[in-house]
Amino acid sequence: MQTIVELKNVTKEFQQKKAVNDVSFSIKQGEMVAILGANGAGKTTTMRMMLGLMKPTRGTVSLFQKDSKHKEVLERVGGMLQEVSVMDSLKVKELIQLIQSYYQHPLELSSLLELTGLHEEEWNKRTEKLSGGQKRRLNFALALAGNPDLLFLDEPTVGMDVTARENFWRKIKELNKQGKTILFTTHYLQEADEVAERIIMINKGEVVGDGTPEHLKGKLTKPRVRFQEKISYPIDFYRTLPFVAEVQKEKETVTLVATNADQLLKEIFDRQLNIHHIEVKLGRLEEVFSQLMEDTKEVDSNEHLLDAK
Ligand SMILES: Nc1ncnc2c1ncn2[C@@H]1O[C@H](COP(=O)(O)OP(=O)(O)O)[C@@H](O)[C@H]1O
Ligand SMILES: [Mg+2]
C-alpha cells in the first residue's frame, strides 16, 4: 500500500519550548490511526504541521509524497481542528457550498447531511448562531465537503455524549471502509483502543509507542517483578534469566519486566537469590498508560508484597 503521510524527524519549537520533538512515522493508504496523548503532548501541533498550517522548526512532512500545500494534496485532504473559526455571517449552506466549490469532486449535500447529522433546519442558520454541537457537525461537514481521501480529525469527540460519539465513529468507520485514510487524535485510551487499528502514542512531544492496540497492550501490560538486592548481581545475570523481557537496575532496586511473572518468581526462588522485598506489579493498561503519559512515579495497584528471606 502506498505511503500517504510521512513525517521525518519533525521538531516544532515555540520560543524555548519543544512541543514536538524528532517525530517520525508514516501512514499507508486506508489506515485508521489514532494519535494518543495527554493534554499538551503535542497532538494538535503535529496535526497542524501535517495539514501545512504550521511549519516544522526542523524535519519534513509530506502528504501523498508531496508538500502539504501542493494543490493536488489540498484536493485530497480534509481536516477538522479543535478550535475553528468559521466565517461568521454566512449561512451554513452557503459556507458548505463555498468550500465545496474549491474541490473538483465534492460530496453531495445529501451525503454530507447523512454523514454529519446536520439537520435541514440548521441549513439556513447563520454560523454564529449555531450551538456547540451544531458547530462541530458543521466542522465535520466542512472537513468532508471535498470528499477527501485523507481525513485529519483533532480530538473530534470531545464534548460529545455517548450516543453522539458512537454515531460519529460509526460514520468514520464507514468512510474508512470506503478506503479513506483516517488520522485522529484523542486523549482517551479507550477510544483509541476501540476505534483505531494502529495507535501512535506521544508523550511530551515524542513518540513513545507505535503499533496495534494489541501490540501496545501486550507491551504495556507485562507484569514487573521488583526487589531489593542484598548483594549485587550484574545486570547481565538478570538478562540471562528465563521469562525476563527487560531489566532495570537502580542502586539495589531491580525491576524485571516479565513475560510470565509466576514462572519468573519460581526461577528466583529456585536460584535462592540473595534478595528481599519482592513485589509483583500487574499493570492495568489504563494505569500504565497514565503513568507513561504523566510520568508519575509508580503503578501501585494490584501489588502483592512478598518477602523472600
Ligand atoms: N502557538 C504556541 N505557542 C507556544 N506554545 C504552544 C503553542 N501551541 C502549542 N504550544 C505548546 O506546545 C505543547 C503542545 O501543545 P499541543 O500540540 O496543543 O498539545 P495537545 O494537542 O496534545 O494537547 C503545549 O505545551 C502547548 O502549551
Ligand atoms: Mg490538542
From ligand 1's centre to the CA of 226, what distance in Å? Answer: 36
Residue 137 pLDDT = 87
Among the listed residues 246, 240, 241, 233, the one whose alpha carbon sits nearest the alpha carbon of residue 267: 241
| Residue identifier of the C-alpha nearest atom 7 of ligand 1 | 14
From ligand 1's centre to the CA of 35, what distance in Å? Answer: 15
CA separation, residue 234 to residues 189, 224, 247, 250, 275 (Å):
37, 18, 11, 12, 13
Among the listed residues 283, 217, 208, the one whose alpha carbon sits nearest the alpha carbon of residue 25: 208
Q: Is ligand 1 within 6 A of the CB of residue 43?
A: yes
Instruction: Residue 235: give the domain boundaries.
Output: 221-306
Q: Residue 14 CA: which ligand 1 atom is closest?
A: 4
From ligand 2's centre to the CA of 43, what distance in Å? Answer: 5
Residue 283 pLDDT = 59
Give, rounded to a whole angstrom, the gap between the first and last alpha carbons of the chain. Answer: 57
Q: Is ligand 1 within 6 A of the CB of residue 40?
A: yes
Q: Do 137 and 240 have their domain in common?
A: no
Q: Do 274 and 172 have their domain in common?
A: no
Q: Is ligand 1 within 6 A of the CB of residue 83?
A: no
Q: Mutate which of 14, 155, 294 to test ligand 1's pocket (most atoms within 8 Å of Cβ)?
A: 14
Q: Do 29 and 158 have their domain in common?
A: yes
Q: Do 197 and 273 have their domain in common?
A: no
Q: Do 195 and 98 have their domain in common?
A: yes
Residue 150 pLDDT = 97
Domain tally, the chain: 2
Q: Do 205 and 229 have their domain in common?
A: no
> How many other β-carbons are positioned within 10 Å of the β-carbon of residue 70?
15
Contact predicate 283/223, CB 8 Å = yes
Average pLDDT by consecutive 10-residue portion of the chain (309 residues)? 95 95 97 94 96 95 94 91 74 89 89 86 87 86 94 91 91 95 93 93 92 80 90 96 93 92 94 95 64 45 35
Q: Which residue pairs from 251-255 have beta carbons closer than 8 angstroms and sit at least 24 positions apart in sequence?
A: 252/228, 253/226, 253/227, 253/228, 253/229, 254/226, 254/227, 254/228, 254/229, 255/224, 255/225, 255/226
Q: Is ligand 1 within 6 A of the CB of residue 42?
A: yes
> How many other β-carbons are positioned within 10 Å of the β-carbon of residue 109?
17
Ligand nearest to the CA of 156: 2
Residue 303 pLDDT = 34
CATH number at 177 reads 3.40.50.300
Contact predicate 142/95, CB 8 Å = yes
Phi, psi of 198 (to 5 degrees): -145, 140
DSSP 221: T
Residue 306 pLDDT = 38
Q: Is ligand 1 within 6 A of the CB of residue 44?
A: yes
What are the cell numbers at 302? 494490584
Q: Do 208 and 123 have their domain in common?
A: yes
From ligand 2's centre to the CA of 42, what distance in Å? Answer: 7
Residue 256 pLDDT = 94
Q: Do 113 and 260 have their domain in common?
A: no
| Residue identifier of the C-alpha nearest atom 4 of ligand 1 | 14
From ligand 1's centre to the CA of 19, what distance in Å? Answer: 6
What are the cell numbers at 166? 458512537
Ligand nearest to the CA of 82: 2
Residue 295 pLDDT = 46
Residue 217 pLDDT = 75
Cα-based angle 307, 230, 279 (whole degrees, multiple of 5): 35
Angle between helices 132-144 and 92-101 (to 10 degrees): 20
Q: Do 63 and 112 have their domain in common?
A: yes
What are the cell numbers at 23? 517525530
CATH number at 228 reads 3.30.70
Cα-based angle 200, 33, 199 (whole degrees, multiple of 5): 30
Q: Do 194 and 251 have their domain in common?
A: no
Q: Residue 205 CA: which ligand 1 atom is closest?
A: 14
Angle between helices 162-177 and 109-116 (to 10 degrees): 130
Q: Do 194 and 253 have their domain in common?
A: no
Strand partners, 58: 11
Strand partners, 34: 184, 199
